[in-house]
Amino acid sequence: MESLEEFKAFIKKGHLEYRPNISVDCVIFGYRAGQLKVLLVRNKLLTSWCLPGGYIRKTETLDEAAARITKNRTGIGNLYLHQFKAFGDPNRNKTKSVDMNKLSELVELDSKQLGWLEGPTITIGFYAITDIVQAIPAPDIFSIECAWFSATDLPKLGYDHNELVREALFSMRIHLYHFPIGKNLLPEKFTLREIKEFYEAMSGKELNASNFPNKLISLGLIRKTKEKRNIGAHRSPVYYTFNKKVYEKALKEGLMLV
């Protein structure tokens, strides 16, 4: 939303452009140096921190809606978004997550106009994993801020969004065992300790310091380079890198990482 006029038109005529009573919400995980975070947004109309979300246009696919909405709400584009679950409890949007006083200050509320926004709404959850970058809030007149929170220590979110994050974590952690991950989240060259730390943050589990990297090596997913990191006289771990061919093949066909 770039102007109040645009917002008023959305409330009044949104039913022509958007599918009523169905939305998309996105759990954007961010990784940096052993930490797993989640991106939350706060705007003037919401009473709590929420996941970035919005309505789906009648002319777009669910994937297109998720990409457009995250880009608009957070300024982050080019995410590899995975759909993980739809949420349809009839009571899920009865919570008072929208500040009706603030809403009525902005728009003269007419129950006829608001009709398409009323009633039980189903939301379709997507998740993505990105390097923690500076999220640049989009020029949305309602945005206050968008910020990273620890995935394991979130505040109470609006609607059922805490449940969405739990389910996204669950799905992401299963996905982790079947598809390669990390090429855009780790530096081009990394130590075995760094990739183990990355998988530990993602899976929420402690991994065996030698079995785990050996599995990655035996699958051909990562390979040794000739370079070492020079930390000190007796500590100079070898750098590894992803084998791009194996990685791309596994992205398509899946693998078994256990």
How much of the chain is helix, strand and coil, in % rounded to 5?
35, 30, 40
Contact map string, positions 160 to 189, toward its own copies, x by CB under 8 A? --------------xx-xx-----------
State which residue, 3 or 59, has the beta carbon closest to its own copies: 59
State which residue, 116 or 240, has the beta carbon closest to its own copies: 116
Contacts to its own copies from residues 41-60, by CB under 8 A: 56, 58-60
Token pair in block for residue 68 = 């457009």
HEC states along 41-84?
A: EEECCECCCECCEEEEECCCCHHHHHHHHHHHHHCCCCCCCEEE
Alpha carbon distances (Å) from 145 to 3, 139, 218 = 17, 11, 44
Phi, psi for residue 256 in degrees, rounded to 5: -120, 105
16 binds its own copies (CB under 8 A): no
200 binds its own copies (CB under 8 A): no
Contacts to its own copies from residues 104-133, by CB under 8 A: 119-120, 122, 124
**Under 8 Å between Cβ of 168 and 127:** yes
249 binds its own copies (CB under 8 A): no
CB of 174 to its own copies, least distance (A): 6
CB of 194 to its own copies, least distance (A): 23
Sort strands 35-43 and 18-32 into parallel, antiparallel or unpaired: antiparallel
The residue within the footprint of its own copies, chosen from 4, 6, 17, 61 (CB under 8 A), is 61
Q: Give the closest residue to 168 by CA, choosing from 114, 72, 87.
A: 87
Q: Which residues bind its own copies (CB under 8 A)?
A: 19-22, 56, 58-62, 65, 83, 85-90, 119-120, 122, 124, 174-175, 177-178, 256, 258
